[in-house]
Structure 1
């Protein structure tokens, strides 16, 4: 996962209530060069979508996001998730993932939360919601103190500010839903999703 993030430091969020739609969205993102996918648990069918993508064996690295409890963490792992992302720092989720040697990115946005994550032995966390929590300037401030901590800003990230985040040495990747336009997906325009993925990858490589 670390090697793939170096090549394409972008983690698109996939939200769907239909496994077929979720799979087509992932394939569209892969066609645009993005291979690490976060399936967010924000619909009733999210677990089924996650499992369908894993079983399709597309070659994507598939993780689960918006994981709120250890029980959800256990369920997404059973369905094949390769990493876990949470909106906040939940001690029990972190402990569970560490017991399974599973990559986990808990959400943080204050020095106290980063300190707690650091004390858990974590060296990479989600910075959420990035835009509302101070954006790139806040990440610069946190990075000056927690020099070995790496961040994945999510929330408010777009093509217009992607380069600003990725230019920070402490940022390993950016997550976001702007790549999976709900309008395009509702219209079955997966080519638009591929185009957005290609645009983001070009920005990252530039």
Structure 2
């Protein structure tokens, strides 16, 4: 499964399962048609109507928090933390995402992360969040962890969170564009007690 996960820069991820999954598509240069698009929240670097259109086709399922739907294609479905959506070959669990010591992503906004179960593996995409208590209950084989700081966890905070979750492998994201650098990704790897793969940007 790890080989089917592509980091497209910042927080955009494509998973080449059947169907293809995009998470927070933004600045997508070589779009593939997706069966499922997941949007974690409404900030421009996570919700790009243009990029959602690029990767969507007639049968694409789009899931997002309710306050994002006005910018998404007709038929997009509202989800909230605690929801479970079952699609052919894929199960999506919707989980909380929020800041605890900053104001960019308030808990009251109801923005989210996702746990995606496909091909007998569980992939956790936390969204823009700090290390929150709910993470300790999440079971995942692969964690795609924001490490850039400022709007999300720092590299050290992210490492502490994955050390508690104990996934099979973690991948640092949310760096290299608006905030965060390769140094943050390397620091995350240094501090983590689980295997970490720093993926190159796939265009």
Query: Do both proteins adopt the same fold according to a TM-score greater than 0.5, normalized to the shorter chain?
Result: no
Q: Which has the higher contact order (CA 8 A, sep 6+)?
A: 1
More helix by share: 1
TM-score by length of 2: 0.40
TM-score by length of 1: 0.40
